[in-house]
Amino acid sequence: MSPHRVWSSSQRGSDGLVTAGGSHSLTDDSSESSIPPHPLGIKPLGNKYLSDGKDARESSGHLQELPDELLSQVLEFLDSRSLRLLGYTCKFLFAFCLSDDVWKTIFLDSEFAKKSSFTWQGSWRATVLGLTPEKRIRIDCNNVYSDVLHRPFVCSYISLKNYTANIPLVNEIDRFENLTYSDFTESWSNKPFILTKCIQDWPVCRSWNLESLHKLYSDVSFRAEAVDWSFSTYYQYMMDNHDESPLYLFDKKFAEKMKIEVGKGEGTAYWKPDCFGPDLFELLGPERPAHRWLIIGPERSGSTFHKDPNATSAWNAVIQGSKYWIMFPPSVSVPGVYVSEDSSEVTSPLSIAEWLLEFHADARQLRECREGVCRAGEILHVPSGWWHLVVNLEAGIALTQNFVPRSHLSDVLSFLRDRPEQVSGFKRDITDPYNLFVERLKAEDPELVENGLKELAEKQMAKKRRWDIVVGNHADEEQPAKKSGFSFGFGFGEGEDEIP
Ligand SMILES: O=C(O)CCC(=O)C(=O)O
Ligand SMILES: [Fe+2]
């Protein structure tokens, strides 16, 4: 069953004219003028109070007793035949039974989900039922009032430009042509940046675009969230869907599947940029968690707020298209993103559009907010521990890789040692990733691991002292920074986000 949408009471205006949430009203907010009328004529619930006409809900029998959220969840238990037939009983239920969110769930539970190739018909419902355009019926549902039905439609048509353009100057992610490794280590490993002339020699920048991949790999199957689809099926989907959160192709085995070589050398497709220096997770060899992905998606696809796994840093290179990034340092509470006490669970609005509508304006006001657009031929650095949300402004292709630079070794050691239940990506038989990594580091460079552990101990001591100050524990009256001989900054980018 699909999870609940996040609905807050602020979505209903005091005037009852309920539209795109918060202060957004479809009728009076020109920033959302990109939103066409709903194809079935469905209206936001608040409009009911201004209408003098009929309410289709009243002819839906006992089902009208259910709140709309519950009704749509109940429908997810029906099979496709029952859902179709129920939809023919009245206009109100027709509107609910046409909802593509419900049909997506049915698709994913059906035999279809196991097939790599089939014909995408423009919607999940039309695909499950094999409905070509001429077979689709449209019933006028203009007296159906429901936020649950109207809201996803609004979210799938919001104009991204309203959120991603006009980035305040102070928020702009720094841009350089390129960086040296020493610049990176000394000044930039804790900050996001975009490099504009770093990956232009990559052969994939010249040879890959959606059409060329479609020609070369149409029968190759790639992972897109819960399904493995041939590229030709995914391509059809990409070019013709209006999902609020389009299915995102995110494949870690792409190099084997596409038979390409990665790394510097004759005939390779791309390589990691020099400026990030050695990647310490390479010492894990085959025991290393998945660390590189091919990412393909249509406009509006993307990644909701998260931190990258195991305190790794990452780079993300755009081959085609462009991506809007909004990022926050590790310790910031991002508006609309709720983190459990032990940081193991993150709850945020289900879709990127929902977050943009509800929280973007507040988030943008934060001093620590960083935003930028990474275009084709450019690469963006995601520092260890930073929150990020990413949305594709147009259909495109990207390559991403996670890595462990020397400057974040202590953060990664701390994560592996102190949050074992949150460590991810290691094979099941690796029961102690922390010790495995420490052993490999020792074998390579004993001093490096010693320094990493020392830095970690110092950071943790500083955090404890900071905590003592906050809670008024004056057991140690001397100034903590003076005593330990190093200073602890409260500025962002320190890489730590918790008080022990
Ligand atoms: O391209 C994207 O959607 C973002 C992927 C991501 O989160 C990353 O590269 O760390
Ligand atoms: Fe990420």
* Residue with CA closest to ligand 1 atom 7: 303
Q: Which of 316, 322, 374, 391 to mutate to test the pocket of ligand 1 (most atoms within 8 A of CB)?
A: 316
C-alpha to C-alpha distance for 293 and 15, rounded to whole angstroms: 47
Consecutive H or E run containing 448: helix 446-471
Q: Which CATH superfamily is domain 161-405 in?
A: Cupin (2.60.120.650)
CA of residue 293 to ligand 1 center, whole Å:
9
User: Which numbered atom of ligand 1 lies nearest the CA of 323?
Assistant: 1
CA of residue 253 to ligand 1 center, whole Å:
16
pLDDT of residue 32: 60
Domain extents in the chain: 9-157, 161-405, 416-484
**27-58, pLDDT tens digit by residue?**
334 456 678 899 999 999 999 988 877 899 99
CA of residue 11 to ligand 2 center, whole Å:
29
Which residue reads 């199957």 in tokens? 221
Instruction: Pick the closest to residue 315 from 348, 271, 352 (CA basis).
Output: 271
Q: Does residue 295's CB lie within 6 angstroms of at least one atom of ligand 1?
A: yes
Q: How far is CA 138 from the centre of its chain?
A: 33
pLDDT of residue 474: 67
Tokens read off for 394 = 């147009």
Ligand that comes closest to the CA of residue 401: 1
pLDDT of residue 20: 28
Tokens read off for 330 = 């590790």
CA of residue 423 to ligand 1 center, whole Å:
19
C-alpha to C-alpha distance for 48 and 45, rounded to whole angstroms: 6
Q: Does residue 297's CB lie within 6 angstroms of at least one atom of ligand 1?
A: no
Range 115-122 contact pairs with CB under 8 angstroms and sequence separation of 24 or more: 116/221, 116/228, 116/229, 116/230, 116/233, 117/219, 117/229, 117/230, 117/232, 117/233, 118/233, 119/236, 120/233, 120/236, 120/237, 120/240, 120/241, 122/240, 122/241
Q: Does residue 167's CB lie within 6 angstroms of at least one atom of ligand 1?
A: no
Q: Does residue 319's CB lie within 6 angstroms of at least one atom of ligand 1?
A: no
Q: Does residue 308's CB lie within 6 angstroms of at least one atom of ligand 1?
A: yes
pLDDT of residue 486: 32
Tokens read off for 54 = 């009929």
- Can you list the residues of the chain whose pLDDT is less than 70? 1-33, 474-500
SS3 87: helix
CA of residue 301 to ligand 2 center, whole Å:
14
Consecutive H or E run containing 462: helix 446-471
pLDDT of residue 73: 92
C-alpha to C-alpha distance for 443 and 118, rounded to whole angstroms: 51
C-alpha to C-alpha distance for 465 and 460, rounded to whole angstroms: 9
Cite the DSSP H helix spans in 2-160. 68-75, 80-87, 91-97, 100-109, 124-129, 147-157
Cβ-contact 48, 74 below 8 angstroms: no
CA of residue 157 to ligand 1 center, whole Å:
22
pLDDT of residue 345: 87
CA of residue 194 to ligand 1 center, whole Å:
14
Q: Which of 324, 351, 384, 390 to mutate to test the pocket of ligand 1 (most atoms within 8 A of CB)?
A: 390
